[in-house]
Each structure stands twice: as C-alpha cells, then as structure tokens.
Structure 1
C-alpha cells in the first residue's frame, strides 16, 4: 500500500488495448493511486491460459520493481476478467502467491459468452459477424482460428476450469454491468438495444439485461451482487444511452466514479 492507497493493475479485454483506461488513469493520478496497465495486445495468437501466465510474470516484475509488498487491486474489462480470474483461481488458487484485495470487473464474461458461441454458429454466425465488424470485431475475423473466442465459449475447457475452481475467499469481488430496461434501440443499435444470451433451455434469445455484448447471466458469480447501471432514456450529464454499452464501459464517467469509490474504500 502507498499513502493509504492500494496499487492498481488494469487489464483490458479482447480486441482492445491499454488506451481504454485513459479516463480512469486520469482519476487515479488525481487520487495519487499508483497503477500499471497490463498489455496483451501482442498475444492475439495465444490462449487465455497463456496470457494468464504472462500476467503472473508481469505482476511479479511490477511488484518487485516498485516495492509493492502488500495487496493490490485489479480492474478488468470484459474478457480481461477471465484472464485475471484464471490466474488467481485456477493457477494460484492453492498457493495464493498473489495477494489481491479487490477484483473489479466491468462487463465480465465470467460464465462464457453467447456471442462467442454464435460467432461459430453455422446458421447465425455470418450475419452477426457482419453486423459487428468494425464495431466490436476486427476486419476479416475468423472465429475458428481465434483462441480467445474459442476459450470463452460457454462449454469450453477454459470456462469449465474457471467455473470449477471457485472464488477465493480472500478477495473482494465487484461486478459492474449496465442494462437497457427502457428498451432504447440506440443503446446498442446493432442488436436493437438488446443483448444475445443463452437461455436456461439452451436456446439463443435477446435480453435487455445486458450491455449489448455481455448479458448479466454471463457476468454473474454466485454470492456476488451485480452493480447495475441503467442507460438513461435521453442524454443526462452529457451521456447518451449508447455510452452505457459494453464498448464504452471503461470510458463511462459513471462507471469510473463507481470504480473509484471501490478503490478508495476500506475492505468490507
């Protein structure tokens, strides 16, 4: 701990980069909270366990280089939560070499992603990929050869290992998600304001309980409450409904304010 503030590690998600944390970093600087951004943009051909291994070494180096001997906080976005949780719960679940006070997840794919499954669907995949190309997925995207997408499919070995490992009792888990209860199409226009999910009967359906990319049932962890921020019907405080969708979560000032409250709080 430094000046009564815990160091923070920031972990971005799929098809993203460390620059998404720019606005949060500004707030961290103002609060004199030390931080580092883990960058896995150069590991797009790696599996999620391999990136978790890289994060393990990164944390060791950062803590040694900066003299961080106590607990740290970790903030992650989307698939970044899977990377962090695999390290902490699967790889380090027994030894607990990494001491983490809080894990704060923004729109995490904790239980796998319906979209990842849909991308691979022979009937619906092509249409959905076309809808999201240039918005959420890169040009010339092929899900079959993307290890991230394959690992985050709900029935993958990776997700099974993650769910089977269980949560760590020494870590405070925080989950921040958004929703579109007012059914505003502009919230995420590519899916008419809704989010794809896999229902209990195994069928695909759209829901308002999601951020356009990740549904609440995909973020949920047993015993951990969801902090749900609902998109406003119209512009409020210069924020329009679309700025509450998955892509903008790390940039949304309301989300950032919630994150800062967690970072500056004492452990529950």
Structure 2
C-alpha cells in the first residue's frame, strides 16, 4: 500500500511510522483506533519524539484515525497531530457499504467486485467494518457528533473520472455509486469507483481532486481509482508536499458529477 509513499517521504527527510491493522481488522473501529493509539505511543517511546505528528490514511483508515482523534481523544487532546490526510475517505459513511447490504442491488454489485475489491465468497454481514461504516451506524453517528478538531489541519485527496473513461474502474464502467438526492442510487464520475466525493466531503477540510491534468487519465486512467490511489505518483507527490510544508487553503472544490 505505502511502498511508493514511504520512500518518497524518506527521501524528503520525513520519518515514517507505519501502522498495519490487518491483525485486528475484524475487531471493530474502536479496537483498531486504540491499537493505533498504542502504536503511536510505542513509536514515541522508541524514538523519544514528543512533538506533533502527521497522519496519512487511505479509505476507512481515515475514519479510524478520526475516531481516535475526535471521538476517543476529542476532549482530552492528548494526541498531538498537526495534519490528517485522507486518501479516498468515506468520511460521511460509505455508500458502498450500504449498497452491499441492499437486497436488490447488493448481490450484483458484489458479483462485479468479486476478486477486484472483495473476496470471491464475500458476505457483507460478516464484514465488521462494512457494517460499522454504513451511513446510519453508531460509529458514523459518533464521528458526526464529535466533529473535526480545530487544532488539526485536514486534507482530503480524491480521484475523479474527469474524462468519463470506462477503464478508470471497469467494474462500473468508470463510474461510482452514490446516494441520489431524492433517495435511491445514481452513478457519478465524481468518485474513485468505490468512494463518491459526496462520501468524502468534510467541513473545513482542504480538498484536492486528481488528476490535475485530465491527460493523465488518457495515459493511466486506472491509477486514479480507489485501490490505486495510495501508490499513484501524483498522490505521492501531493502528500510529500503537504508533509514538508504547512497546510494551505483548499485547492479545489470537488465536482458533484
């Protein structure tokens, strides 16, 4: 996941601590968030560093970090964090998680994503994280109630199919499913194949929608879909820029369609 970003940061003299929650991924958001807290504390003890850190996350990892910082630590402010970067995050809950559970559309969506984004025998009822990040879940409600912290700068990086290329994410012909304003579902190019921009928007967060040059989608459209974003050279360059400079104003407002 991070084998492009970590070397780029090291080259820029930015120390990197990695957190892998694979061993506890079925334990739920709170348990993973507490494991992240323990990892940070262990790294601080090992290195002797006691200043603010930056956290870079992909997808649900962003929401796990936010749960630690905003829900568990929100009032105490013990975790010193300068910047939180979310790459393709479902900050408002995951439309895809809800779609997986839709009795009419879910089975076909899972069939299309089998072997691409989920296992061949995927069953959403058994996926703790999917259930916890359905938009109406208690975890999403807790994040919404806590709100963002004014002592942390937030940045969101999103992929968008600016050229409507089917190869962007072939499973859905280059589009991303999202909730329609009047209810039900609609497909949009304002997303990365898995997470629509409407899932990612976060009050006060600076947003970058990539690619900046639509010609990049002609060359490598698949590099901007959800699973490829953390290793995308443009994303890596942007994160390196964030972490070696102070966080600036929002770069771009995400398009709705």
What TM-score do the two structures reach when normalised by structure 2? 0.92
Q: Mark the runs of 5 or more structure 2 residues left unpaired by the alignment.
A: 249-257
Q: Which residue of 1 aligns with 2:95?
A: 114
Where do residues 114-153 of structure 1 align in structure 2 (5 Å cutoff)?
114-153=95-134
Q: Which residue of 1 aligns with 2:237?
A: 257
Task: Confirm or deny that 1:165 pairs with 2:132.
Answer: no
Task: Confirm or deny that 1:92 pairs with 2:65.
Answer: no
- 3-state SS of 1:174 partner: strand
| Distance in 1 (alpha carbons) for counterparts of 2:206 and 2:200 | 10
Q: Mark the runs of 5 or more structure 1 residues left unpaired by the alignment.
A: 1-19
CA contact (8 A) 1:214 1:246 kept: yes
Q: Which residue of 2 aligns with 1:3?
A: none
What TM-score do the two structures reach when normalised by structure 1? 0.89
CA contact (8 A) 1:178 1:231 kept: no
Q: Which residue of 2 aligns with 1:27?
A: 8
Q: Which runs of 4+ in 1 moved over 6 A?
A: none
Where do residues 69-88 of structure 1 align in structure 2 (5 Å cutoff)?
69-88=50-69
Structure-2 change in CA distance of 1:32 and 1:225 (3 Å): closer
* RMSD between aligned residues: 1.6
| Distance in 2 (alpha carbons) for counterparts of 1:233 and 1:69 | 42
Select the residue among 162, 184, 190 that pairs with 1:209.
Answer: 190
Select the residue among 198, 211, 231 that pairs with 1:230.
Answer: 211
| Distance in 1 (alpha carbons) for counterparts of 2:209 and 2:171 | 22
CA contact (8 A) 2:153 2:205 kept: no
Distance apart, 1:231 and its partner CA: 7.9
| Distance in 1 (alpha carbons) for counterparts of 2:2 and 2:187 | 29
